[in-house]
Structure 1
């Protein structure tokens, strides 16, 4: 798990770094005393978890978490703070944990381990086996970005290739029961982890763009609302 750390007090930042870096599954990508610098790092580096103080000069940790939440970034947040005044608002941002200073090493480790367990149990597992005449294509489900039905055929898009099949979207929906996949439109299934943006396409639908791929999908307005309520 890739982790970013931010706390404007050097001694507190070093405590965070020491605890997090000692956990075998954790890779500390950056540690900074500036929330602005943390924001710039988030735009450049992929991280899974941000551990942040709340009350900092200029951009606060709460504002940083709000940016993550409003942009639907797939980054968990743990607040480590000396202020209890943000607790209610913080959980409105769906933060993973709210830890009060001073805290014990064990308290933070337990929180991170709980997130690791949650993340591992939520990972997409399994494969799709697609028969095509004399060939069988095996696709890791986690690599599927989106699926499009056009005419009598269906195209499965991954970051590295596109594969055609005569399976219908209804049949593929039965294979893709993981929470990460959504039937966004009668002609599309999308993997929400790859979604980059939505832009208005028609009165009741949006165009979906994805990370790492040029292809686009369509999502209906009611499905966007469903995503906001249940995922983001």
Structure 2
């Protein structure tokens, strides 16, 4: 199983990583000091277990857990904190466990044993298929990161290193490369019609012939147009049965 550790205290991360490495088959894929970096990473990665400190800068562990559950409701959340008062809220969002600092070796080993047992009961075929297609995408608005449904996206446009996501409610910035986003989107719905554009085919209102035998796609609701490059014409015609 793949896991992450999010804790702004380095000694705490090192201690937990030691127990995980020595006494479990978990692979620590990445470590984080704040919640926003966790969300960015999770948009393009599949993780089975997340160890989350509750008090972190940017976005606390409870907020991160709620958003992670929306991305992948099968992820196991384990809170790591020095504060008992968050326990009720943690289990309201179906946390797998709640570990108090300073860590008890017995308590950590018990948690790791439960994780192993839980994983053995999981159907292998189902776990292999988890999160192959993302249903959420991370955007940035006024310096804050949010998750939106992929279905809300009309198109995505790349300007150099800046990637913009267009919805009915406006345009937003994504920190991910357009190629990385495309790898995770549903290929039956989203099409990379140009090296700088991804379009949601469900949002296309009209296909307009353009110069050099290319097309421009007019989108519903937002009045925007997206080009189809010459290199993609043949595949695009097949895709829409032209």
> TM-score, normalised to structure 2's length?
0.52
Residue of structure 2 in register with 1:8 after alignment: 8
Name segments (4+ residues, structure 1) moved above 6 Å.
none
1:116 and 1:212 mapped to 2: Cα distance?
31
Q: For the Cα contact (< 8 Å) 2:133–2:186, is it kept in 1?
A: no
- Cα offset, 1:50, TM superposition: 0.4
Aligned CA distance change for structure 1 residues 79 and 144 (closer, same or farther; 3 Å): closer
Gaps of 5+ in 1: 125-140, 146-191, 201-210, 217-232
Structure-2 residue corresponding to 1:58 = 58
Q: Determine if the alignment matches structure 1 residue 68 to structure 2 residue 41.
A: no
2:41 match? 41
User: Alpha carbons of 1:31 and 1:193: their partners in 2 closer, same or farther (altered >3 Å)?
Assistant: closer
Change (3 A) 1:80 1:106: same
| 2:84 match: secondary structure | coil
SS at match of 2:23: coil
- Once the 2 structures are TM-superposed, how far is the Cα of residue 105 of structure 1 from its aligned partner? 2.3
**Counterpart of 1:30?**
30
In 2, Cα distance between equivalents of 1:143 and 1:96:
17
Counterpart CA distance in 1 for 2:109 and 2:83 is 20
Q: Provide the TM-score with structure 1 as the length reference.
A: 0.54
Matches of 1:105 and 1:31 in 2, distance apart?
Answer: 21
Q: What does residue 214 of structure 1 align with?
A: 187
- Unaligned 5+ segments in structure 2 are 136-148, 153-183, 190-242
The offset of 1:14, in angstroms, is 1.0
Q: CA deviation at 1:49?
A: 0.3
Whole-Å Cα distance in 1 between the matches of residues 79 and 87 of structure 2? 9
Q: Deviations over 1:117-138 (max 9, x none)?
A: 11211224xxxxxxxxxxxxxx
> 1:194 offset after TM fit, Å?
5.8
How many equivalent residue pairs? Answer: 145
